[in-house]
Structure 1
Amino acid sequence: MEWRRSARARRVSLRIDPRDGAVVVTLPPRTGRTAGMALLMNHADWVAERLAALPGHIPFAPGAVVPVHGIDHRIVHIGGRGGVWVDGRAIMVAGEPEFLARRVADFLRAEARRRLSILVADKAEAAGVRPSRVSVKDTRSRWGSCAANRALAFSWRLVMAPRFVQDYVAAHEVAHLRHMNHGPRFWALVQDLTSHTDAAVAWLRDEGPRLLRIG
């Protein structure tokens, strides 16, 4: 279990972190852990059900199956010298075995940055806007974000989602460069930039937690 204290919290809250499979209790500044434990005990069945429903953890290891752009690929360690590359439906990894997990993660991050940068550039041109920066991060609760300084950030795990999901998330964040809200004009622009909103939102709701359990 993980305890967090937030100056913005107005009440005790409880959630499941799908990445770590942990129970997270958030407390307002002046609230003690007793209130958090009471909330946890009152929702014990809900917590147990959510934890049981989490997908199993898939480490970056030889033989593991990891999606790339929504298509399953098997990690194959070949040793010797070289980098990481995709061959058919295999992620080929050279080098020492103790560095395999890090090398796969670095490869997927780089592919996420490449793919999302292309999508953002195309959609920003269509919308007549320009981001100050595009980066990828290992976020826990947001697939993308748009900061006040016009910097866009995305979860690198989107590289494992189907391309139509990537297309939607890129469109969503680019639309925020013009409308920093979720009003009607924002959603109208999103619809102009992508045709995948409904399908992508449903996919992220149903399948997104699985991506947080990989790596």
Structure 2
Amino acid sequence: MPVLPGSPPVEVTLRRSAQARRFSLRVSRLDGRVTLTVPARAREAEALAFARDQEGWIRRALLDVPRTASVGLDTLLPVEGRQLLVRPGSGRCVRIEDDSLLVPGDPALAPVRLAAFLKALARERLAAACDHHARTLGRSYARLTLRDTRSRWGSCTHDGCLMFSWRLILAPPPVLDYVAAHEVAHLAQMNHSPAFWAEVSRLMPDYAPHRLWLRRHGQALHGFRFGD
């Protein structure tokens, strides 16, 4: 893998594409991976010269990549917008107590147990929000599933299946509610037309600041690693 020297060195993934007509660079905001896409027959030396010319831009973009943190005991973790300290707990179940997130059992299993707890809580909150918005809209959805998606916070299929990122439980409740309203609105409008946004506004009149929060801070929610 080509490397740009410096402090620190930057690895560059070279990707050849038959559709590419010019060199292009991309820095992933999820993991900081630098990808250089080049035409299929381009010379590698020319591609690397292009990357070196863009080194300043690459390093500035890398500064904007959210830092990752492995979750475990003593981690400060946002849950429904509140900063909770992960601490050892007693009993059999993970629970929230005051400003602590108490995890019983083997500390090595804390990340997995936390993820399971958060997914269950996310399902509960999203199901309640979707049920509420679907009743208001006068539509019904087929099923609700959770995933750890990186490119979108939710989706709605033509047959009424709703999908959400479980990491929405880390965001403030109105943000989760906005995403639920957004996807439920697609049950009536499978597009992003003015008519669609009118439906979102009917379901959640004050959605704009919560949409903005997700744009500004949403990527940081992917920075928490639960042993995966």
- TM-score, normalised to structure 1, is 0.86
SS in 1 for 2:74: coil
Q: Report the number of matched residues.
A: 213
Distance 1:142 1:5 in 2: 26
> 1:83·1:95 contact (CA, 8 Å) conserved in 2?
no
- Does 1:74 find its partner at 2:68? no
Look up the equivalent residue of 1:18 and give its one-letter code.
Answer: R
Change (3 A) 1:129 1:184: same
SS in 2 for 1:207: helix
Percent sequence identity is 38
> 2:72·2:86 contact (CA, 8 Å) conserved in 1?
yes
- What residue number does 1:167 align with? 177
- What residue number does 2:222 align with? 212
* Offset at residue 142 of structure 1 (A): 0.6
Q: Bigger CA drift: 43-52 or 99-108? A: 43-52
Question: RMSD value over aligned CA atoms?
Answer: 2.7
- In the alignment, which of 185, 188, 203 is matched to residue 195 of structure 2? 185
Q: Which runs of 5+ in 2 are unaligned?
A: 1-11
Q: Cα deviation per residue 1:8-49 (whole Å; 9 max; x = unaligned)?
A: 989765433333232345678x57794875664453322211
Change (3 A) 1:117 1:11: farther
Distance 1:188 1:7 in 2: 41
**Which residues of 2 match residues 83-122 of structure 1 at below 5 A?**
83-122=93-132
Distance 1:73 1:182 in 2: 36
Q: Which structure has the bigger radius of gyration?
A: 2
- What residue number does 1:19 align with? 30
- What residue number does 2:156 align with? 146
Q: Which runs of 5+ in 1 are unaligned?
A: none
Q: Cα deviation per residue 1:86-105 (whole Å; 9 max; x = unaligned)?
A: 11111110111111111111
